[in-house]
Amino acid sequence: MHSKTIGFIGGGNMATSLIGGLVATSHDPDRILVTEPDEQRRDLLVSDHGVVALQDNAVLAAQADVIVLAVKPNIMASVLEEIRQPVQVRKPLIISIAAGIPLQRYRDLLGPGMPIVRSMPNTPALVRAGMTGAIMDAEQPGEVRKLATAVLAAAGEVRWFETDHDLDCLTAVSGSGPAYFFHLMECMQAGAERLGLSPEVARDLVLHTAYGAAKLALHDSASPAELRQRVTSPGGTTAKALDAFAAGDFPRVVDNAMQAVVQRAAEMSREN
């Protein structure tokens, strides 16, 4: 994998996280190409990671062994149009990270026989703690899956799925999921400040609690429900907090949020 040239089309939030993961796993930054119209973002990628910035998506597509499509879903069709010709000649591995766009759309716009992976990473990729789901054509050779796994694993965990719907469901969990946890952290930090703690102390307490809870849940075979119960002494403080969550129908709020993601992904598949 380290001998491959990986080209990123779009150098925004998610691409930056993936590039950070690749560079951290010793991928030669000279073998990472990026096209990014925003000059400030482009310069930061070059100065922070030493990657090579290019101006033209077709030029990048003519040089890369792996192309990561990291643009917003609404401009994906125009990007695919730009790279269609060079990729048909070279047949690089195409990895899209765009939400909602089904695999068939890439086949339609790039032509038959292309090795295409649809994936859904998440921003903790930046610190190699990402969770990525991916799907691809079953008839592609095993080496394609191996290469895609190697590229995506630079960001953390990789799991393979079967269908576009699987990936939309994963988007509701791990793709968008970091935002749910960040939102809870935001709310807890604001609450801690209202209780009179300084912003600095509030942040420290919240982040270490989130980190500790995730680490414990990963290392302990107990379910999240059991871990929650272990914190909750009968008649104690935590029970009161959980009563307040229940009064706000927290499980329903979370479920509604996740259903909304899957619904939006389905809409995006029709729009893009």
Ligand X SMILES: NC(=O)C1=CN([C@@H]2O[C@H](COP(=O)(O)OP(=O)(O)OC[C@H]3O[C@@H](n4cnc5c(N)ncnc54)[C@H](OP(=O)(O)O)[C@@H]3O)[C@@H](O)[C@H]2O)C=CC1
- Residues of this chain that interact with ligand X (CB under 6 A) are 9-15, 35-38, 41, 57, 70-73, 75, 79, 97-99, 120-123, 175
Nearest CB to ligand X, comparing residues 57 and 189: 57
Closest CA to 57 of 34, 75, 40: 34
User: Mask: binding to ligand A1CAB, 88-107, rule CB under 6 A, as x and -?
Assistant: -----------x--------
SS3 (DSSP) at 114: coil
In 3D space, the residue among 2, 140, 124, 118 whose CA is nearest the CA of residue 68 turns out to be: 118
Rounded to a whole number of angstroms, the minimum distance from the CB of residue 82 to ligand A1CAB is: 22
Strands (E), 137-230: 156-160
**φ/ψ (deg, to 5) at 3:** -85, -5
Closer to ligand X at the Cβ: 13 or 163? 13
Q: Which is nearer to ligand X, 115 or 133 (CB)?
A: 133
Residue 17 touching ligand A1CAB (CB under 6 A) = no
Token pair 């149009």: residue: 81
- Rounded to whole angstroms, what are the CA distances from 47 to 124, 154, 157? 21, 20, 27
Q: What are phi and psi of 225, to 5 degrees?
A: -65, -40
Q: Which of 17, 176, 189, 269 binds ligand A1CAB (CB under 6 A)?
A: 176
Query: Other C-beta atoms within 10 Å of 131: how many?
Result: 20
Is 16 a residue that touches ligand A1CAB (CB under 6 A)? no
Task: Establish whether 133 is an annotated binding residue.
Answer: no
Give every strand in the sheet of 93-96, ordered side by side.
52-54, 32-35, 6-9, 66-69, 93-96, 116-120, 130-136, 156-160
Q: Does 171 bind ligand A1CAB (CB under 6 A)?
A: yes
Instruction: Tell me whether residue 123 or residue 189 sits nearer to ligand X (CB atom).
Output: 123
From 17-25, 129-137, 171-179, 217-225, give the range in contact with ligand A1CAB by CB under 6 A: 171-179
Rounded least distance, CB 254 to ligand A1CAB, Å: 16
CB 22 within 8 A of CB 150: no
The footprint of ligand A1CAB on this chain (CB under 6 A) covers a number of residues equal to 4
Enumerate residues 203-262 that contact ligand A1CAB by CB under 6 A: none
Enumerate binding residues for ligand A1CAB (CB under 6 A).
99, 171, 175-176
Binding-site sequence positions for NADPH = 57
